[in-house]
Structure 1
Amino acid sequence: MTIDYSHAREMMVEQQVRPWDVLDLRVLDVLARLPREAFVAESHKALAYADIELPLGHGQKMMKPVVEGRMLQALDLQPGDEVLEIGSGSGFVSACLGELAREVLSLEIQPELAEGARRNLDAARLGTNVRIEVADALQWQNPRQFDAICVTAAVDTLPAQWLQWLRPGGRLFVVRGHSPVMEAVLAKADGSIESLFETDIDYLRGAAPAPQFHL
Protein backbone atom coordinates (compact mmCIF):
# COMPACT_ATOMS: atom_id res chain seq x y z
CA MET A 1 0.00 0.00 0.00
CA THR A 2 1.33 3.41 -0.95
CA ILE A 3 0.98 6.04 1.76
CA ASP A 4 -0.01 9.56 0.80
CA TYR A 5 2.40 11.35 3.13
CA SER A 6 1.28 14.78 1.96
CA HIS A 7 -2.30 14.02 3.03
CA ALA A 8 -1.10 12.44 6.29
CA ARG A 9 0.91 15.59 7.01
CA GLU A 10 -2.11 17.78 6.37
CA MET A 11 -4.29 15.63 8.65
CA MET A 12 -1.63 15.74 11.39
CA VAL A 13 -1.63 19.54 11.34
CA GLU A 14 -5.42 19.93 11.17
CA GLN A 15 -6.52 17.12 13.50
CA GLN A 16 -3.66 16.97 16.04
CA VAL A 17 -1.44 20.05 16.11
CA ARG A 18 -3.85 22.92 15.49
CA PRO A 19 -6.49 21.64 17.99
CA TRP A 20 -3.72 21.59 20.63
CA ASP A 21 -3.58 25.40 20.44
CA VAL A 22 -0.70 25.63 17.99
CA LEU A 23 -1.83 28.66 15.99
CA ASP A 24 1.48 30.22 14.90
CA LEU A 25 1.25 30.23 11.11
CA ARG A 26 5.02 29.88 10.61
CA VAL A 27 5.12 26.79 12.83
CA LEU A 28 2.07 25.26 11.13
CA ASP A 29 3.63 25.91 7.73
CA VAL A 30 6.88 24.17 8.69
CA LEU A 31 5.05 21.14 10.09
CA ALA A 32 2.87 21.01 6.97
CA ARG A 33 5.90 21.09 4.64
CA LEU A 34 8.67 19.04 6.22
CA PRO A 35 8.75 15.31 5.44
CA ARG A 36 8.56 13.78 8.91
CA GLU A 37 8.62 10.31 7.35
CA ALA A 38 12.21 10.96 6.23
CA PHE A 39 13.29 11.11 9.88
CA VAL A 40 11.88 7.83 11.20
CA ALA A 41 13.01 4.23 10.74
CA GLU A 42 11.75 2.38 7.67
CA SER A 43 9.66 0.12 9.91
CA HIS A 44 7.84 3.14 11.41
CA LYS A 45 7.23 5.27 8.31
CA ALA A 46 3.53 4.36 8.29
CA LEU A 47 3.30 5.88 11.79
CA ALA A 48 5.28 9.04 11.03
CA TYR A 49 2.21 11.26 11.43
CA ALA A 50 0.45 9.37 14.22
CA ASP A 51 -0.17 10.93 17.65
CA ILE A 52 2.47 8.76 19.33
CA GLU A 53 6.16 8.82 20.26
CA LEU A 54 8.36 6.76 17.94
CA PRO A 55 11.49 4.81 18.97
CA LEU A 56 14.80 6.07 17.57
CA GLY A 57 17.13 3.51 19.12
CA HIS A 58 19.55 3.92 22.04
CA GLY A 59 16.57 4.29 24.35
CA GLN A 60 15.53 7.55 22.67
CA LYS A 61 12.13 8.49 21.26
CA MET A 62 10.78 11.03 18.83
CA MET A 63 8.29 13.41 20.44
CA LYS A 64 4.62 13.43 19.50
CA PRO A 65 3.85 15.98 16.77
CA VAL A 66 1.66 17.99 19.15
CA VAL A 67 4.52 18.43 21.64
CA GLU A 68 6.88 19.44 18.83
CA GLY A 69 4.34 22.01 17.65
CA ARG A 70 3.81 23.52 21.10
CA MET A 71 7.56 23.63 21.67
CA LEU A 72 8.28 25.44 18.39
CA GLN A 73 5.46 27.90 19.02
CA ALA A 74 6.62 28.66 22.58
CA LEU A 75 10.15 29.50 21.39
CA ASP A 76 8.74 32.18 19.04
CA LEU A 77 11.78 31.93 16.77
CA GLN A 78 12.70 34.84 14.54
CA PRO A 79 14.57 34.61 11.21
CA GLY A 80 17.75 36.08 12.68
CA ASP A 81 17.89 33.87 15.80
CA GLU A 82 20.74 31.57 16.77
CA VAL A 83 19.42 28.42 18.44
CA LEU A 84 20.93 25.69 20.59
CA GLU A 85 19.18 22.32 20.47
CA ILE A 86 19.89 19.79 23.21
CA GLY A 87 19.16 16.31 21.86
CA SER A 88 19.32 16.00 18.06
CA GLY A 89 17.40 12.71 18.00
CA SER A 90 16.37 11.95 14.42
CA GLY A 91 17.13 15.47 13.22
CA PHE A 92 13.48 16.35 12.57
CA VAL A 93 13.21 19.08 15.20
CA SER A 94 16.65 20.29 14.09
CA ALA A 95 15.22 20.70 10.58
CA CYS A 96 12.18 22.60 11.91
CA LEU A 97 14.42 24.91 13.94
CA GLY A 98 16.59 25.47 10.89
CA GLU A 99 13.57 26.56 8.85
CA LEU A 100 12.47 29.05 11.52
CA ALA A 101 15.83 30.49 12.63
CA ARG A 102 19.13 31.63 11.11
CA GLU A 103 21.49 29.08 12.65
CA VAL A 104 21.15 25.94 14.79
CA LEU A 105 23.78 24.15 16.85
CA SER A 106 22.48 20.76 17.95
CA LEU A 107 24.13 18.63 20.65
CA GLU A 108 23.64 14.84 20.68
CA ILE A 109 25.27 12.57 23.25
CA GLN A 110 24.95 9.40 21.12
CA PRO A 111 27.39 9.40 18.17
CA GLU A 112 25.19 7.00 16.19
CA LEU A 113 22.13 9.24 16.59
CA ALA A 114 24.16 12.33 15.66
CA GLU A 115 25.38 10.61 12.51
CA GLY A 116 21.87 9.42 11.67
CA ALA A 117 20.39 12.88 12.20
CA ARG A 118 22.92 14.46 9.83
CA ARG A 119 22.27 11.70 7.29
CA ASN A 120 18.50 12.32 7.53
CA LEU A 121 18.95 16.07 7.10
CA ASP A 122 21.22 15.64 4.10
CA ALA A 123 18.90 13.09 2.45
CA ALA A 124 15.94 15.45 2.89
CA ARG A 125 18.05 18.38 1.63
CA LEU A 126 17.33 20.25 4.84
CA GLY A 127 19.42 21.68 7.65
CA THR A 128 22.14 23.45 5.65
CA ASN A 129 22.21 25.92 8.58
CA VAL A 130 22.24 23.13 11.23
CA ARG A 131 25.47 21.91 12.82
CA ILE A 132 25.35 18.71 14.86
CA GLU A 133 28.00 18.03 17.49
CA VAL A 134 28.52 14.97 19.68
CA ALA A 135 28.46 16.33 23.23
CA ASP A 136 26.91 15.89 26.66
CA ALA A 137 24.95 19.09 27.30
CA LEU A 138 25.27 18.56 31.06
CA GLN A 139 29.08 18.73 30.80
CA TRP A 140 29.50 20.98 27.76
CA GLN A 141 31.79 23.97 28.26
CA ASN A 142 30.59 26.81 26.10
CA PRO A 143 31.32 30.55 25.93
CA ARG A 144 28.58 31.23 23.35
CA GLN A 145 25.13 32.59 24.00
CA PHE A 146 21.96 31.91 22.05
CA ASP A 147 18.62 33.57 21.38
CA ALA A 148 16.78 30.33 22.09
CA ILE A 149 17.49 26.88 23.55
CA CYS A 150 15.33 23.90 22.69
CA VAL A 151 15.60 20.81 24.93
CA THR A 152 14.01 17.71 23.39
CA ALA A 153 14.13 15.49 26.49
CA ALA A 154 13.12 15.98 30.10
CA VAL A 155 15.17 16.99 33.14
CA ASP A 156 14.49 16.55 36.84
CA THR A 157 15.63 20.12 37.52
CA LEU A 158 16.75 22.83 35.13
CA PRO A 159 20.57 23.16 35.11
CA ALA A 160 21.57 26.73 36.02
CA GLN A 161 24.33 26.84 33.39
CA TRP A 162 21.79 26.45 30.59
CA LEU A 163 20.23 29.80 31.49
CA GLN A 164 23.68 31.37 31.30
CA TRP A 165 23.80 30.38 27.62
CA LEU A 166 20.85 32.69 26.87
CA ARG A 167 21.31 36.16 25.48
CA PRO A 168 19.29 38.98 27.09
CA GLY A 169 15.72 38.39 25.97
CA GLY A 170 16.50 34.75 25.24
CA ARG A 171 14.18 31.84 26.05
CA LEU A 172 14.56 28.14 26.78
CA PHE A 173 11.98 25.39 26.33
CA VAL A 174 12.28 22.31 28.53
CA VAL A 175 10.12 19.63 30.14
CA ARG A 176 10.92 19.18 33.82
CA GLY A 177 9.75 17.25 36.85
CA HIS A 178 8.90 13.70 37.78
CA SER A 179 7.24 11.19 35.47
CA PRO A 180 4.36 10.60 34.85
CA VAL A 181 3.30 14.21 35.41
CA MET A 182 5.85 16.64 34.01
CA GLU A 183 5.61 20.32 33.20
CA ALA A 184 6.69 21.96 29.96
CA VAL A 185 8.06 25.42 30.74
CA LEU A 186 9.54 28.43 28.99
CA ALA A 187 12.44 29.88 30.98
CA LYS A 188 13.71 33.38 30.24
CA ALA A 189 17.18 34.86 30.54
CA ASP A 190 15.93 37.04 33.41
CA GLY A 191 15.13 33.91 35.44
CA SER A 192 11.35 33.99 35.01
CA ILE A 193 9.63 30.71 34.20
CA GLU A 194 6.26 30.29 32.47
CA SER A 195 4.34 27.03 32.80
CA LEU A 196 2.99 25.89 29.42
CA PHE A 197 1.36 22.45 29.66
CA GLU A 198 1.64 19.02 31.26
CA THR A 199 3.20 16.10 29.43
CA ASP A 200 5.47 13.09 30.01
CA ILE A 201 8.60 12.38 27.96
CA ASP A 202 11.83 10.47 28.53
CA TYR A 203 14.67 12.05 30.49
CA LEU A 204 17.83 13.40 28.96
CA ARG A 205 20.64 10.99 29.75
CA GLY A 206 22.07 11.95 33.12
CA ALA A 207 19.19 14.31 33.96
CA ALA A 208 16.76 11.86 35.60
CA PRO A 209 16.00 12.19 39.31
CA ALA A 210 18.14 10.20 41.71
CA PRO A 211 16.48 6.92 42.76
CA GLN A 212 14.46 7.23 45.95
CA PHE A 213 14.84 4.50 48.54
CA HIS A 214 12.01 3.93 50.98
CA LEU A 215 12.30 1.78 54.08
Structure 2
Amino acid sequence: MTDFAAARYFMVEGQIRPNKVTDHRLVDVLSELPREAFVPESARGVAYVDDDLPIGKGRFLLEPMVFARMLQAVAVQETDRVLDVGAAGGYSTAVLGRLATSVIGLDCDEGLTAAATAALAGQGIANAKAVTGPLAEGYAQNAPYDVIVVEGTVPEVPAALTEQLAEGGRLVAVVQGSGSVGEVRLFQRTAGIVSSRILFEAKPHALPGFEKKASFVF
Protein backbone atom coordinates (compact mmCIF):
# COMPACT_ATOMS: atom_id res chain seq x y z
CA MET A 1 0.00 0.00 0.00
CA THR A 2 1.33 3.42 -0.97
CA ASP A 3 2.14 5.81 1.86
CA PHE A 4 0.68 8.93 0.23
CA ALA A 5 1.69 11.27 3.05
CA ALA A 6 5.32 10.19 2.65
CA ALA A 7 5.11 10.46 -1.15
CA ARG A 8 3.71 13.98 -0.83
CA TYR A 9 6.49 14.94 1.58
CA PHE A 10 9.19 13.68 -0.78
CA MET A 11 7.51 15.47 -3.72
CA VAL A 12 7.77 18.76 -1.87
CA GLU A 13 11.24 18.20 -0.45
CA GLY A 14 12.72 16.55 -3.55
CA GLN A 15 10.96 18.28 -6.44
CA ILE A 16 9.48 21.56 -5.21
CA ARG A 17 11.78 23.23 -2.68
CA PRO A 18 15.05 22.48 -4.57
CA ASN A 19 13.65 24.17 -7.71
CA LYS A 20 13.38 27.75 -6.46
CA VAL A 21 9.83 27.46 -5.14
CA THR A 22 9.82 29.60 -2.00
CA ASP A 23 6.21 30.83 -1.77
CA HIS A 24 5.27 29.45 1.64
CA ARG A 25 1.50 29.54 0.97
CA LEU A 26 1.96 27.48 -2.18
CA VAL A 27 4.35 25.03 -0.53
CA ASP A 28 1.93 24.55 2.37
CA VAL A 29 -0.94 23.70 -0.01
CA LEU A 30 1.18 21.27 -2.00
CA SER A 31 2.26 19.65 1.27
CA GLU A 32 -1.31 19.14 2.44
CA LEU A 33 -3.55 18.55 -0.58
CA PRO A 34 -3.84 14.84 -1.56
CA ARG A 35 -2.92 14.70 -5.25
CA GLU A 36 -4.00 11.06 -5.38
CA ALA A 37 -7.62 12.12 -4.77
CA PHE A 38 -7.71 13.82 -8.18
CA VAL A 39 -6.44 11.01 -10.41
CA PRO A 40 -7.94 7.67 -11.50
CA GLU A 41 -7.45 4.80 -9.09
CA SER A 42 -5.03 3.13 -11.51
CA ALA A 43 -2.71 6.16 -11.31
CA ARG A 44 -2.78 6.79 -7.58
CA GLY A 45 0.33 4.76 -6.87
CA VAL A 46 2.38 7.15 -9.05
CA ALA A 47 0.46 10.34 -8.21
CA TYR A 48 3.65 12.09 -7.04
CA VAL A 49 5.98 11.11 -9.90
CA ASP A 50 8.38 13.81 -11.10
CA ASP A 51 6.96 13.88 -14.62
CA ASP A 52 3.68 14.63 -16.38
CA LEU A 53 1.16 12.12 -15.02
CA PRO A 54 -1.15 10.40 -17.54
CA ILE A 55 -4.76 10.30 -16.30
CA GLY A 56 -6.40 8.77 -19.38
CA LYS A 57 -8.05 10.12 -22.53
CA GLY A 58 -4.69 11.45 -23.67
CA ARG A 59 -4.56 13.94 -20.81
CA PHE A 60 -1.95 14.62 -18.15
CA LEU A 61 -1.34 16.45 -14.90
CA LEU A 62 1.63 18.79 -15.11
CA GLU A 63 4.91 17.70 -13.57
CA PRO A 64 4.79 18.99 -9.96
CA MET A 65 7.92 21.12 -10.27
CA VAL A 66 6.71 22.83 -13.46
CA PHE A 67 3.24 23.37 -12.01
CA ALA A 68 4.64 24.86 -8.79
CA ARG A 69 7.00 27.23 -10.59
CA MET A 70 4.19 28.40 -12.87
CA LEU A 71 1.93 29.13 -9.91
CA GLN A 72 4.68 30.94 -8.06
CA ALA A 73 5.25 33.11 -11.14
CA VAL A 74 1.66 34.39 -11.20
CA ALA A 75 1.78 35.14 -7.45
CA VAL A 76 -1.77 34.15 -6.62
CA GLN A 77 -3.28 36.36 -3.91
CA GLU A 78 -6.15 35.58 -1.53
CA THR A 79 -8.35 38.15 -3.29
CA ASP A 80 -7.70 36.87 -6.84
CA ARG A 81 -10.29 35.48 -9.24
CA VAL A 82 -8.70 32.65 -11.23
CA LEU A 83 -9.37 30.74 -14.45
CA ASP A 84 -7.70 27.32 -14.64
CA VAL A 85 -7.57 26.21 -18.31
CA GLY A 86 -7.21 22.46 -18.85
CA ALA A 87 -8.26 21.58 -15.31
CA ALA A 88 -8.56 17.84 -16.07
CA GLY A 89 -9.40 15.98 -12.83
CA GLY A 90 -9.34 19.14 -10.73
CA TYR A 91 -6.03 18.96 -8.85
CA SER A 92 -4.73 22.26 -10.19
CA THR A 93 -8.11 23.88 -9.57
CA ALA A 94 -8.05 22.62 -5.99
CA VAL A 95 -4.57 24.04 -5.35
CA LEU A 96 -5.67 27.38 -6.78
CA GLY A 97 -8.84 27.22 -4.70
CA ARG A 98 -6.72 27.07 -1.55
CA LEU A 99 -4.80 30.16 -2.67
CA ALA A 100 -7.42 32.45 -4.25
CA THR A 101 -10.92 33.75 -3.52
CA SER A 102 -12.60 31.94 -6.43
CA VAL A 103 -11.58 29.59 -9.25
CA ILE A 104 -13.18 28.36 -12.45
CA GLY A 105 -11.66 25.05 -13.58
CA LEU A 106 -12.31 24.75 -17.32
CA ASP A 107 -11.95 21.53 -19.27
CA CYS A 108 -13.18 20.34 -22.66
CA ASP A 109 -14.05 16.83 -21.47
CA GLU A 110 -17.34 16.36 -19.63
CA GLY A 111 -16.10 13.20 -17.92
CA LEU A 112 -13.08 14.99 -16.48
CA THR A 113 -15.28 17.88 -15.37
CA ALA A 114 -17.55 15.44 -13.54
CA ALA A 115 -14.54 13.81 -11.86
CA ALA A 116 -13.17 17.22 -10.88
CA THR A 117 -16.52 18.29 -9.42
CA ALA A 118 -16.64 15.16 -7.25
CA ALA A 119 -13.01 15.47 -6.14
CA LEU A 120 -13.37 19.15 -5.23
CA ALA A 121 -16.46 18.37 -3.18
CA GLY A 122 -14.62 15.50 -1.51
CA GLN A 123 -11.93 17.90 -0.34
CA GLY A 124 -14.44 20.51 0.81
CA ILE A 125 -13.25 23.13 -1.67
CA ALA A 126 -16.37 25.25 -2.11
CA ASN A 127 -14.85 28.29 -3.84
CA ALA A 128 -13.91 26.38 -7.01
CA LYS A 129 -16.23 25.29 -9.80
CA ALA A 130 -15.49 22.85 -12.64
CA VAL A 131 -17.07 23.69 -16.02
CA THR A 132 -16.91 22.27 -19.54
CA GLY A 133 -16.13 24.21 -22.70
CA PRO A 134 -13.56 24.87 -25.44
CA LEU A 135 -10.25 25.57 -23.72
CA ALA A 136 -8.99 28.17 -26.18
CA GLU A 137 -12.11 30.28 -25.65
CA GLY A 138 -11.73 30.61 -21.89
CA TYR A 139 -14.82 31.28 -19.79
CA ALA A 140 -15.91 34.81 -20.61
CA GLN A 141 -19.07 34.80 -18.50
CA ASN A 142 -17.00 35.03 -15.31
CA ALA A 143 -14.28 37.34 -16.68
CA PRO A 144 -12.26 39.34 -15.95
CA TYR A 145 -9.74 37.21 -14.07
CA ASP A 146 -6.76 38.32 -12.02
CA VAL A 147 -4.94 35.09 -12.88
CA ILE A 148 -5.22 32.59 -15.74
CA VAL A 149 -3.21 29.36 -15.66
CA VAL A 150 -2.92 27.23 -18.82
CA GLU A 151 -2.19 23.64 -17.80
CA GLY A 152 -0.16 22.40 -20.77
CA THR A 153 1.74 23.36 -23.89
CA VAL A 154 0.02 25.50 -26.53
CA PRO A 155 1.33 26.80 -29.88
CA GLU A 156 0.30 30.30 -28.86
CA VAL A 157 -1.91 32.00 -26.30
CA PRO A 158 -5.08 33.11 -28.09
CA ALA A 159 -6.45 36.62 -27.73
CA ALA A 160 -9.66 35.13 -26.33
CA LEU A 161 -7.72 34.31 -23.15
CA THR A 162 -5.64 37.46 -22.75
CA GLU A 163 -8.78 39.55 -23.31
CA GLN A 164 -10.24 37.95 -20.18
CA LEU A 165 -7.45 39.31 -17.98
CA ALA A 166 -8.30 42.12 -15.57
CA GLU A 167 -6.08 45.17 -15.40
CA GLY A 168 -2.89 44.00 -13.72
CA GLY A 169 -3.90 40.40 -14.42
CA ARG A 170 -1.33 37.65 -15.02
CA LEU A 171 -1.44 34.61 -17.30
CA VAL A 172 1.07 31.78 -17.36
CA ALA A 173 1.38 29.18 -20.12
CA VAL A 174 3.91 26.94 -21.79
CA VAL A 175 4.28 28.16 -25.38
CA GLN A 176 5.81 25.81 -27.92
CA GLY A 177 9.12 27.12 -29.23
CA SER A 178 10.85 26.33 -32.49
CA GLY A 179 12.35 23.13 -31.07
CA SER A 180 10.93 20.34 -28.94
CA VAL A 181 11.09 22.29 -25.67
CA GLY A 182 8.50 24.90 -24.73
CA GLU A 183 8.91 28.25 -23.01
CA VAL A 184 7.03 29.06 -19.83
CA ARG A 185 5.81 32.60 -20.44
CA LEU A 186 4.30 35.09 -18.03
CA PHE A 187 1.81 37.51 -19.59
CA GLN A 188 0.52 40.65 -17.85
CA ARG A 189 -2.07 43.28 -18.73
CA THR A 190 -0.90 46.80 -17.88
CA ALA A 191 -2.79 49.90 -19.03
CA GLY A 192 -4.71 47.70 -21.44
CA ILE A 193 -1.57 46.31 -23.09
CA VAL A 194 -0.57 42.65 -22.71
CA SER A 195 3.16 41.94 -22.63
CA SER A 196 5.05 38.72 -21.91
CA ARG A 197 8.43 37.43 -20.86
CA ILE A 198 10.10 34.03 -20.82
CA LEU A 199 10.63 32.47 -17.38
CA PHE A 200 12.13 29.02 -18.01
CA GLU A 201 11.95 26.05 -20.35
CA ALA A 202 9.64 23.06 -19.92
CA LYS A 203 8.15 20.29 -21.99
CA PRO A 204 4.61 19.43 -20.82
CA HIS A 205 2.17 17.59 -23.06
CA ALA A 206 -0.01 19.65 -25.38
CA LEU A 207 -3.50 20.75 -24.48
CA PRO A 208 -6.26 19.95 -27.02
CA GLY A 209 -8.13 22.67 -28.86
CA PHE A 210 -5.27 25.11 -29.37
CA GLU A 211 -4.05 23.78 -32.72
CA LYS A 212 -3.27 26.47 -35.27
CA LYS A 213 -5.75 26.49 -38.11
CA ALA A 214 -4.33 25.67 -41.51
CA SER A 215 -4.08 28.66 -43.83
CA PHE A 216 -4.62 28.57 -47.56
CA VAL A 217 -1.83 29.61 -49.86
CA PHE A 218 -2.85 30.93 -53.26
Normalising to structure 1: TM-score of the pair? 0.91
Structure 1 unmatched ranges of 5 or more: none
**2:96 is equivalent to residue 97 of structure 1:** yes
Structure 2 unmatched ranges of 5 or more: none
* Mapping for residues 51-200 of structure 1, pairs under 5 Å: 51-123=50-122, 125-139=123-137, 142=140, 144-178=143-177, 180-190=180-190, 191-200=194-203
CA distance in 2, matches of 1:9, 1:177: 30
CA distance in 2, matches of 1:76, 1:197: 16
The question of whether the paired residues in 2 share the 8 Å contact of 1:150 and 1:172 is answered with yes
CA distance in 2, matches of 1:187, 1:162: 11
Report the count of equivalent residues: 210
CA distance in 1, matches of 2:71, 2:13: 16
Deviation at 1:204, TM superposition (A): 2.0
Indicate the SS of the match to 2:136: coil
Match of 1:135, as an amino acid?
G
**2:4 is equivalent to residue 5 of structure 1:** yes
CA distance in 1, matches of 2:89, 2:131: 13
CA distance in 2, matches of 1:195, 1:45: 33
The question of whether the paired residues in 1 share the 8 Å contact of 2:152 and 2:205 is answered with yes
Deviating 4+ runs (over 6 angstroms):
none
Indicate the SS of the match to 1:30: helix
RMSD across aligned positions (CA): 1.8
Deviations 1:69-92 (A, max 9, x none): 111111101111100111111100
Indicate the SS of the match to 1:99: helix
The question of whether the paired residues in 2 share the 8 Å contact of 1:87 and 1:106 is answered with yes
Mark the CA change 1:140 to 1:3 in structure 2 (over 3 Å): closer, same or farther.
closer
